Amino acid sequence: MVCSSDHVHINMFALKALRSFSPATKNVYLRSKQAFSVTMSRMQHTEVQHGETAAFRPETSMAKTLMDIGTRRIFSEEHDLFRQNVRRFFQEEVVPYHAQWEKAGEVSREVWKKAGEQGLLGIYTLEEHGGIGGDLLSAALVWEEQMYCNCSGPGFSLHSEIVMPYISHYGSKAQIEHYIPQMTAGKCIGAIAMTEPGAGSDLQGVKTFAKKDGTDWILNGSKVFITNGWMSDVVIVVAVTDREAKTAAHGISLFLVDSGTKGFQKGCKLEKLGLKAQDTAELFFEDVRLPAEALLGQVNKGFYYLMNELPQERLLISVMALASCEFMFEETRNYVMQRKAFGRTIADLQVVQHKLAELKTEICVGRAFIDSCLQLHSEKKLDSSTASMAKYWATDLQNRVATQCLQLHGGWGYMWEYPIAKAFADSRVQPIYGGTNEIMKELISRNITPSGYRKQSVNFNHALL
């Protein structure tokens, strides 16, 4: 990936794109790219030479703790070094401020810029588009480390691995050059607005409508539960553009709407059960005039773009769910080994020992499946059904683990000052967003009983997210 820790490797396509960036954009992009590249290059001297055998990497079931660095066969020593830097970033730049952000209902913009400076944003976006150009596993370990520090506030993963891919995959050259480098640098925060008060998993319920007016579009409607919505600088808006379409799948388009555009207003930050530091907002669009250049991709193709990108979103959710399970387990293990009752630690009680054994086994089984999904997606082989399995299983497991771990904390687990209480509250939304787990089962079942699927309503099946 890099030739020297003193120079940023830019491939020929990225170099061509860089020439069109403004000086300011070029500088912030290069700083982000260099931070990532320097970290990854430091391990070159440890690369396995031809004929040598790579060092054994234990799975998490064999490691001292479920969060040990240097485990899991899908990762390399290069990833280990990067993980150390990512872990350090979260411990130094996120953990000390998270309680403050929970009270404010949003994180600071400064932490976004710092993440960009460290090369933690846009890792899986191509260099030639202004991203870092790293591999999926490097992006995944950032998601994991955020969960390992129990800090759900920063919406880095949605910004980098959900919003940015839509722009890099379907955007025009001008859109890519305008947004991606700034998003990689943490200077432009992205959000995606699908959900409406009357439409979640059912696309037939989408009411937000964009009407053609000459070469422009006039956008009207509202969205709700939008992560990064309050702080967003650009929002990908899902809107109906053809009300006469045979099915909802044929009449949906995506638009890029900048914060500050006339008629675009952000409602209040929503007060939630969990994810206290993550800004979640309502968005309102009243006669918002958008130029033709605001259309993302082709008109009426939005549903297909959503279908293409949702497996990665669901994989992301499953990875973070498993990492949260690992954090909760280790937090609980430490607690029961210190907490005393009946003249001994509660870890000495057989019922507690058996519960920990059950939890660890379930987590390690889940980890094996999620890692296999990461490997598949790295090879661009992950299908929608398998991604749905990962999302459904991992988030259900996360809630079971949260319940059992809080129970082992007793009354103290119900106190907000204890990390397990926050993890418990945060876990509840996981089976809901990214497509409810009931919808995941519906999607999985289509590959099991295809004849039954064909007999169902065409409109119903074509409208599911």
Catalogue all structural domains in the chain, each as residue range(s) with its CATH number: 12-44+58-188 (1.10.540.10), 191-300 (2.40.110.10), 304-462 (1.20.140.10)
Q: How many other CB atoms are found less than 10 A from the CB of residue 73? A: 12
**What three-state secondary structure class fits 88?**
helix
Residue with token string 């039954």: 452
User: Which 3 state secondary structure label does DSSP give 192?
Assistant: strand
362 is catalytic: no
Using the structure block, give the residue that is written with the tokens 């020439």: 19
Give the active site residue among 313, 326, 331, 442.
313
244 vs 250: CA distance, rounded Å: 9
Residue 9 near residue 37 (C-beta atoms within 8 A):
yes
**According to the model, what pLDDT value does residue 375 have?**
97
For 394-418, the pLDDT digits (tens) are 999 999 999 999 999 999 999 999 9
pTM of the model: 0.88
DSSP string covering 209-261: EEEEETTEEEEEEEEEEEETTTT-SEEEEEEES-TT-SSGGGSEEEEEEETT-
Determine how many CB atoms are found less than 10 A away from the CB of residue 246.
11
Q: Counting every residue, how long is the chain?
A: 465
Q: How far apart are CA 160 and CA 163, in angstroms?
A: 6
C-alpha 67/C-alpha 148 separation (Å) is: 7
pLDDT at res. 65 = 97
Q: DSSP 3-state helix, strand, coil percentages of the chain (rounded to 5)?
A: 55, 15, 30
Q: Residue 202: its pLDDT value, please?
A: 79
CA angle 102, 105, 110 (to 5 degrees): 85
Question: What is residue 159's DSSP assignment?
Answer: I
* Residues β-bridged to residue 269: 281
Please, are residues 376 and 368 in contact by the beta-carbon 8 Å criterion?
no
Distance of alpha carbon 11 from alpha carbon 13, whole angstroms = 6
Q: Report pLDDT for 51.
A: 47
pLDDT at position 279: 97
- The answer to whether 309 and 166 have CB atoms below 8 angstroms apart is yes
Residues of the chain with pLDDT under 70: 1-54, 451-465
pLDDT score for 247: 85
Can you give the pLDDT at residue 246? 86
What is the pLDDT at residue 10? 43
Residue 325 tokens, joined = 């399970």
Pairing of strands 264-269, 252-258: unpaired
